[in-house]
């Protein structure tokens, strides 16, 4: 039996050669493994070097793009106040709910719940999300109450979040809508002073970096990129109290006369500042979408109207300046009309012989035409242009119309005559008010302004002596025998002029009218100029003459404005006489004796505030 059996090479105890071969094979295998491990380590190190050093910025951006966001910081728009600091336009914080369509479309089962919370049909929500399926942002509901937004967020629907915004609010509502205008959903001015001063009022949004989770919720504020800059406040020339009076009385006049529209403007004579400007129809600037677009128009600066007889004081002033007439010049207006080409210039009555003051007091078209005939075309044209007719007033209000005042080379043989009493040219109520303020300011014309304290240097348009003469001629209009006794104000001398112009239509003039009153008060030292225009009044109600439909608006507004501004009366004698008569009547009714009369008249300073 052979005791030396052959052993397997892998068993110990084999011969040396076999053991050496087995060891070499093991080492080779270990080296292969080590080589692979080394190469893997080198690859990992290279990858780490690539990620952390070579392409660090790229991968950081990629990571940030998924979790780090730069979001805007909303800022408030500047407040608009009236001349006394009362707020007229303010910005209130609101919330806007937005969603990530990519996230929301992954949870279709939550959409009915979300639609109900948003107050919109489910199909509308689904359609909006589907249309922006490749986007990460869509507004779901903008500028809502923060409490309402909190209820929507409390549902914890993936992809729904909110952000702070601001909404404009107008405390005065309809009364100041045309002056202030409004902003759009992005808080940018669209009309009125909101548009004119948008750059001043609008702030600069800030920005910050935040980390958001996959649901869009902010989990950490990382960095302030840019601080928000709030808008600057604006103090305008409007007096809220006078504005309210103007709006209220204009509305009453429209309702009483059945007119289709109306405008009223109040200016500070000494500065040209606009104290009030009202128009009807109007709209609610807090709910712009509920009113027709036509109601947004600021008729006082955009609508062109034939000024009618409000032109006559300027025609007379032009004649006085040219030296072709004097206050004592007489005009024979019989038989109440004169030829005007193929037509006639007529008066409502045959006033016979009138002096220059009588032309204004009786509002004689014939008399105004006779004055204009004594002026050359160049004289008449230059005079009216000095007063601002045919160009914008310079107020800076968006959309202001320049008016229509043709140059003499475009006049026909009848143009100057018809323009002398307010036909054949067009102007805005603001232009008329600006011209009248110049008469009250001693012949100095200010550009009208909507900003408190913004006084442009005035320019001389008329000699102060002539301005004063015309002013006192206009005073007779509101006194006995004038065409606007309803504009008279107890205790004050009022200078004014009525105007009633027929509205142009195809082929001539219709039987529809515009009733004007333009006036200044008090005459001795004019403080206010006001123009009222009532468009298309119903003749079957109060009539259509300016002295009937517009003069009462002037009287009521000016009575309030004079008291509010503490303007001393310049007709104390009349006021005292009326007060004494009223007291006597009251005492007689009570059966009491009258007190002894005052030994001396009340000094002017004692009458600064009327009861």
92/285 Cα distance (integer angstroms): 15
Cα separation, 294 vs 426, whole angstroms: 21
Could you tell me which residues come within 8 angstroms of residue 530 by beta carbon, excluding any fewer than 6 positions away?
A: 264, 265, 266, 267, 433, 517, 518, 519, 520, 554, 557, 558
Residue with tokens 């075309």: 377
Q: State how far the Cα of 602 lies from the Cα of 592, in Å rounded to an integer.
A: 24
Q: Which residue has the tokens 């709030």?
A: 230
Cis status of the peptide bond prior to 522, with omega within 30 of 0: yes
For residue 335, cis peptide bond before it (omega within 30 degrees of 0): yes
Buried b (16+ CB within 10 A) or exposed e, 575-601: bbeeeeeeeeeeeeeeeeeeeeeeeee
Report which DSSP code applies to 172. Answer: T
CA atoms within 13 A on the CB side of 123: 0
| Residue 253 to residues 54, 125, 305, 498, 528, Cα–Cα distance (Å) | 80, 48, 19, 16, 20
Q: d(Cα 478, Cα 208) in Å, to the nearest integer? A: 66
Q: Report the relative pairing of strands 206-212 and 459-460 from DSSP bridges.
A: unpaired
263 touches 550 (CB < 8 A): no
Q: Which helix (H) or strand (E) holds 519?
A: strand 508-521
The DSSP code for 199 is H
Residue 309 a catalytic site member? yes
Residues 6+ apart with CB under 8 A from 381: 407, 408
Q: List, in sequence order, the alpha helices (H) in 191-239.
A: 192-196, 198-201
Given the residues 237, 309, 364, 501, select the one marked as catalytic. Answer: 309
In 3D space, the residue among 477, 511, 513 whose CA is nearest the CA of residue 496 turns out to be 477
Let me know how long the chain is: 611
State the catalytic residues: 309
């Amino acid at each position: 039996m052979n005791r030396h059996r052959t052993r397997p090479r892998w068993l110990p105890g084999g011969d040396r050669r076999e053991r050496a071969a087995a060891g070499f094979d093991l080492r080779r295998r270990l080296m292969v493994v080590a080589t692979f491990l080394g190469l893997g380590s080198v690859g990992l190190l290279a990858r780490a070097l690539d990620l952390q050093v070579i392409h660090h910025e790229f991968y950081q951006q990629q990571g940030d793009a998924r979790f780090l966001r730069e979001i805007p910081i909303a800022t408030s728009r500047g407040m608009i106040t009236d001349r006394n600091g009362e707020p007229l336009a303010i910005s209130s914080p609101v919330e806007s709910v937005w969603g990530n369509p990519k996230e929301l479309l992954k949870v279709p089962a939550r959409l009915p719940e979300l639609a109900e919370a948003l107050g919109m049909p489910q199909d509308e929500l689904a359609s909006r999300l589907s249309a922006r399926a490749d986007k990460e942002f869509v507004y779901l509901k903008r500028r809502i109450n923060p409490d309402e937004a909190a209820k929507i967020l409390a549902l914890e629907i993936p992809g729904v979040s909110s952000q702070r915004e601001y909404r404009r609010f107008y405390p005065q509502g309809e009364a100041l809508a045309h002056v202030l205008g409004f902003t759009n959903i992005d808080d940018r001015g669209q009309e009125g002073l909101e548009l004119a001063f948008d750059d001043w009022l609008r702030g600069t949004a800030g920005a910050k970096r935040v980390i958001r989770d996959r649901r869009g919720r902010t989990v950490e504020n990382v960095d302030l990129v840019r601080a928000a800059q709030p808008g600057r406040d604006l103090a305008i020339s409007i007096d809220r109290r006078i504005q309210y009076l103007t709006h209220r009385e204009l509305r009453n006049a429209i309702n009483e006369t059945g007119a289709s529209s109306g405008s009223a403007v109040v200016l500070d004579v000494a500065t040209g500042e606009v104290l009030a400007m009202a128009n009807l129809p109007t709209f609610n600037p807090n709910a712009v979408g509920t009113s027709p677009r036509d109601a947004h128009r600021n008729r006082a600066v955009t609508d062109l109207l034939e000024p009618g007889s409000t032109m006559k004081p300027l025609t007379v002033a032009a004649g006085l300046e040219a030296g072709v007439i004097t206050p004592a010049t007489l005009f024979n207006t019989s038989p109440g009309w004169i030829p005007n080409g193929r037509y006639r210039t007529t008066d409502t009555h045959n006033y016979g012989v009138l002096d220059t003051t009588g032309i204004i007091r009786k509002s004689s078209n014939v008399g105004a035409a006779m004055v204009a005939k004594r002026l050359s075309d160049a004289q008449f044209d230059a005079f009216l242009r000095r007063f601002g007719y045919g160009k914008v007033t310079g107020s800076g209000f968006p959309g202001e119309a320049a008016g229509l005042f043709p140059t003499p080379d475009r006049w026909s043989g009848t143009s100057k005559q018809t323009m002398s009493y307010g036909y054949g040219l067009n102007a805005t109520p603001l232009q008329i008010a600006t011209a009248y303020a110049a008469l009250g300011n001693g012949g100095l014309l200010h550009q009208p302004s909507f900003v408190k304290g913004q006084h442009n240097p005035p320019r001389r348009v008329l000699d102060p002596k002539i301005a004063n003469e015309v002013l006192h001629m206009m005073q007779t209009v509101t006194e006995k025998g004038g065409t606007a006794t309803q504009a008279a104000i107890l205790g004050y001398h009022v200078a004014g002029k009525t105007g009633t112009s027929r509205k142009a239509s195809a082929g001539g003039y219709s039987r529809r009218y515009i009733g004007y009153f333009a006036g200044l008060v008090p005459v001795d030292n004019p403080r206010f100029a006001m123009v009222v225009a009532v468009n298309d009044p119903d003749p079957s109600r109060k009539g259509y003459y300016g002295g009937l439909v517009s003069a009462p608006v002037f009287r009521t507004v000016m009575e309030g404005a004079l008291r509010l501004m503490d303007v001393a009366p310049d007709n104390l004698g009349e006021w005292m006489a009326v007060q004494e008569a009223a007291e006597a009547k009251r005492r007689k009714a009570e059966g009491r004796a009258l007190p002894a009369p005052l030994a001396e008249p009340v000094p002017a300073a004692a009458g600064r505030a009327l009861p």
